[in-house]
Amino acid sequence: MLWFCGRLKKCKSPKSFLDFCKKQIQRCSLCFIVLSRKRFCMNITKIPLGRVVLNKMEESVLVVKRSVLEKHDLVNHQGIKNVALASVEKSIVNDYEYLKRGIAEDSVSYKQIIPYIVFKHQESYFLMQRSSKASEKRLANNYSLGIGGHLRKEDIDFKRIHEWGMREFKEEVAYCGTGKMQFLGVLNDDSTEVGKVHLGLVFIYEAASSDIRVRSELKSGVLATKTDIIGLFDMLESWSQMVITALDNLEK
């Protein structure tokens, strides 16, 4: 790294900097360098061999127009609505589009579709705390029950929605056991800036094993009972508050 920084200092112009970067890309398949035309800067991200990762805001993510979701009665509620999964999947597959994530995050006329998976083992749920360095800064340090992620264009082949969600699940937590998926409902939250541009599809993953741990953007994770989680209600992100409320109501 010291050698790398030392060589950068010798670059006297943008052209020499670009030439240097091109040589390093050819030498090292573990780094992808994102260059900005507006700024004389760079960002280096470690990635698996064979996979190129762009700036997250440049990713093309799946969205559906709010007007279309309103027509299908999928965003005319606040909280979690019990809807047939097949109906939801049909609405998305028939009317989806792709937008750059940076654009979608600021456009309330679209909703980004987020599979949101809640891990359950017996009577406990996996409660996580997001890192202060989470890519979604508006959720940094919050406590969460759900593991969710954007549906990226390069990852989607239109299998079942929960299978898309399992990709993100495997990126954020380490779990090698078995389990079964149950659809809880469609989560709409227009009370926050994050919620206004996202729509959650909530699944409960009923796991056979308790052997799970966090990785990626998560700071910590622990299995906790519903009663314990309700005791931390004010510390949960809004989506998790809605999930634990729905789960509590189901058991009453």
Residue 132 covered by a domain: yes
The fraction of the chain above a pLDDT of 90, given in percent, is 52
Give the count of domains, the chain: 2
Whole-angstrom distance, CA of residue 99 vs CA of residue 118: 27
pLDDT surpasses 90 at 85: yes
| 62 shares its domain with 161 | yes
| 156 shares its domain with 244 | yes
Residue 7 covered by a domain: no
pLDDT value of residue 132: 57
pLDDT surpasses 90 at 125: yes
pLDDT value of residue 168: 81
| 104 shares its domain with 224 | yes
| 158 shares its domain with 83 | yes
pLDDT value of residue 153: 82
Q: Is 184 exposed, middle or buried (0-12, 13-18, 19+ CB in 10 A)?
A: buried
Q: How far is CA 52 from its chain centroid?
A: 18
Residue 83 covered by a domain: yes
SS (H, E, C) 130-188: ECCCCCCHHHCCCEECEEECCCEHHHCCCCCHHHHHHHHHHHHEEECCCEEEEEEEEEE
pTM listed for this prediction: 0.74
Contact 73, 59 (CB under 8 A): no
| 70 shares its domain with 44 | no
Residue 5 covered by a domain: no
| 142 shares its domain with 23 | no
The residue type of 145 is L
pLDDT by residue (tens digit) across 208-246?
999 999 886 677 899 999 999 999 999 999 999 999 999
Residue 181 domain boundaries: 58-250
pLDDT by residue (tens digit) across 16-67?
655 655 555 444 433 333 333 333 333 333 334 344 445 778 899 999 999 9
pLDDT value of residue 138: 53
